[in-house]
Amino acid sequence: MPDRVSVVQSSHNVTKTRGKEHVLVPLVAVVIVIALTVVVVLMRLYRISDFPPGIINDEGANGVDALQVLQGHHNVFFAEKASGREALAIYATALATHFLGPSLLAFHLPPALASAGAVFAVFWLGLLLFDRDEQSGQLRPWRGLTVAGVAAGLMAASIGQTFLARGGFRANFLPLILALSLALLWRSWGHNGGRKTSWWGLGLAGACAGLLLYTYIPARFAPFLYLLFGLSFLIPFGAVAKARVKADWHKAAAFVAAAGLVAAPILIYFILHPEDFFFRSREISLSLDSHRTQLGAFLNNVVEYLLIFGARGDRNWEYNFAGKPLLNTWEALFFWAGVAISLWRWRKRPAYRLLLLWLGVMLLPAMLAFNRGQGPNSLRIIGAAPAAYLLVGVGIWETARLLRGRISLNNATAAAAAVGVLVTGFILVQGVIAYRTYFYEWVGTPQYYAAADAEIAEAAQVLNKQPSDAKSVFLIPYHLSNGHYGFDYLYQGDAPAHVIHSTMTHLPQRIESILEANEEVSSVRVVDWNNELGWIGGGEEYTVALLEKYGTYLGSEQHEYFQIHTFSDITLDSSWTFYESLGPPSVDYDGGISLLGIALGKGNTQLSTQQQINLGPERTFWIAKQWQTAPGLDKEYAVSLRLHDSEGGGVYQRDIVLLNPNYSRTSNWTPEQPVETLYHMEIPPDLKPGEYELRLVVYDYESLKPTVELGVWEPEEVIANLQVSESH
């Protein structure tokens, strides 16, 4: 009798506990969602129209293509700009631009919203994966809330994810769509916890899976995740596996059919244009690593990307703050604990198995790509980040259970208080730290403005307000690139505007061709950057010098980042050059190329190569050369400009591949036709004052073997004597 009373009492307590949980679990979930919303709004959306203050050049291609979409030009893959772009982010930007106009807000809002949505998608997925026992199907709501809340909180407050979200990267759509697809697939498959199969849910899960191919290149690995996860249920293959295939093949077919239907347009495009599918992959192939074999480069990447979990991170200021790892030290400890527990429970816990497969498959694209000296690339692993955060949540939950002697929280009120307070507090504390890092330690630094190309956005906004017409031309000299997609998206003025590389080899010809393309030019307005913008690199003085030489200076306007100089009466009757005539030396080389003459100068003043040149504190000058190749030349040549001190020691060197105005290398030049090249030299500020020789070496770009002067048989030619003064 006492045993029966005990059983009844125990049953009553369980029922009472479940009744309380029925009320408390949704309440705690709402509190966690509110905390997530606060952090997401602050880190992803707060003043998104102002921070960051510009558009990164490569990402600006999305904006330019979005403008084309609004003009009726539609594609499933935009191949022309920046190594090719998937369509989803472009159409989202087009939608925002339609309502908000070309602006920083319209450009940055869609990726930021996608990143914000990914936080809540990961929270939902975490609840689905961990709110029930995998074997019995019994509810485990506190486990689900803990794992999901920790994972979503880490993602919301991640400084690296904040950089990517606010940076306008199309990659932000990948974690959102992938998390939604997995959540819908898990929820709709049926059986777990008595859930019935949802065919609509399976169709939506498949549609999201197909949509992944329109997000970002690493999403092309996602099909392997679905395949491997499905096959993992068939190990070991036997009678049980066969029965499972027989029972569930129609669900898999529905999922695959929906995915294939959505992905069909881009798959057909890549079948018809395979070069577009492989183009970017070739650009970042491991074979580009000149210091290692491909296997060595891959193994080096494996180490780099494993160290991102707690040791060191991406050093690219566009993607991350101060090289911070994806997870800090204590987060990494729980992450590795989660990995270990998931490996231990691999066979019996599908949720743990999914996280490990997700992490491994979505890290692989980054590990197979060549990193150019910036350490691990956080953008390329954005698809793996949610799995990493969920594994941290798993590690925290399992560690807490272990420390409590595996005693569960039977008191619903105590469980609610523990999970609600700890998880919510964790999210808010992480949010405060991230907010302080971004808005107080990052915003306003030189790296902040440089990473966002803020000066280009400011130029576009200022020029939009300038009175202009089709007969005026704006020139924006820019040392970092020839053209800028962010500027092209933001600038909406009537006058043609061109971002030109300020120190390009053929600057005079480039400017002349721009002006000749206009039927009539009434004025040319040149942006001249302020000297304190050191990250731009300078060189705009060469454009100003050319306009002073071939036009009439009218005046200047001062703005925050730059001045605008106006010129009129532009002369286009003769070819533009910095020099009036070429002087010695002229050199015939044994490799089938000849130097016909050189000219040196500063600004619009040509200097004599026969006299010592005093550079002054600016330490900059230009050097023009005229070349000619012999018939049958099949080599690609480069030049090396070298400074030697009075004792003959080399102190500075600049190497440049020889290109004609069409950017063709010497093997493709027209034989016996003169080709001019122009180089802008800037002597390092730390070089000691004194007398130096400037020497020229011409060499085979492939073999690095120098060619020598006929009759002299020496590779080096002295072309100028320089007097270097103290720098500013």
pLDDT given for residue 537 in this prediction: 63
> Is the per-residue pLDDT at 627 higher than 90?
yes
Task: Answer yes or no: are the C-beta atoms of 525 and 473 closer than 8 Å.
Answer: yes
Is the predicted pLDDT of residue 322 greater than 50, yes or no?
yes
pLDDT tens track for 349-404: 999 999 999 999 999 999 999 987 778 999 999 999 999 999 999 999 999 888 76
Inform me whether the pLDDT recorded for 8 exceeds 50. Answer: no
Q: How many other C-beta atoms lie within 10 A of the C-beta of residue 15? A: 10
pLDDT of the residue at 19: 59
**What is residue 6's predicted lDDT score, i.e. its pLDDT?**
47
Nearest to 717, CA basis, from 586, 546, 600, 596: 586
User: HSE (CB half, 13 Å, CA atoms) of 534?
Assistant: 4
Terminal-to-terminal C-alpha distance of the chain:
98
Instruction: Say what the pLDDT of residue 14 is.
Output: 46
With residues binned 3-state (H G I as helix, E B as strand, rest as coil), the percentages for the chain, rounded to 5, are 50, 15, 30
pLDDT tens digits along 533-572? 767 766 787 888 889 889 999 999 999 889 999 999 999 8
* Rounded percentage of the chain residues whose pLDDT exceeds 70: 94
Q: Count CB atoms within 10 A of the CB of residue 54.
A: 28
Distance in angstroms (rounded) separating the CA atoms of residues 628 and 675: 6
Mean pLDDT value across residues 182-208: 89
More confident position, 503 or 627: 627
723, containing H or E segment: strand 716-724
pLDDT at 676: 85
Q: Is the pLDDT of residue 596 over 80?
A: yes
- How large is the angle between the packed helices 350-367 and 294-307, nearest 10 degrees? 130
For residue range 690-702, list pLDDT tens digits in order.
999 999 999 999 8
The closest of 586, 583, 588 to 713, measured between CA atoms, is 588
- What pLDDT is attached to residue 411? 65
pTM of the full structure: 0.87
Both structure tokens of 56: 């990164």
> Lowest mean pLDDT: which of 93-102, 121-130, 271-280, 468-477?
468-477
Band (pLDDT 50/70/90 cuts) for residue 238 is: confident
Q: 17 pLDDT exceeds 60?
A: no
38 vs 43: CA distance, rounded Å: 9
Alpha-carbon span 640 to 592, nearest angstrom: 17
Q: Is the pLDDT of residue 593 over 60?
A: yes
Band (pLDDT 50/70/90 cuts) for residue 10 is very low
Share of the chain above pLDDT 90, in %: 67
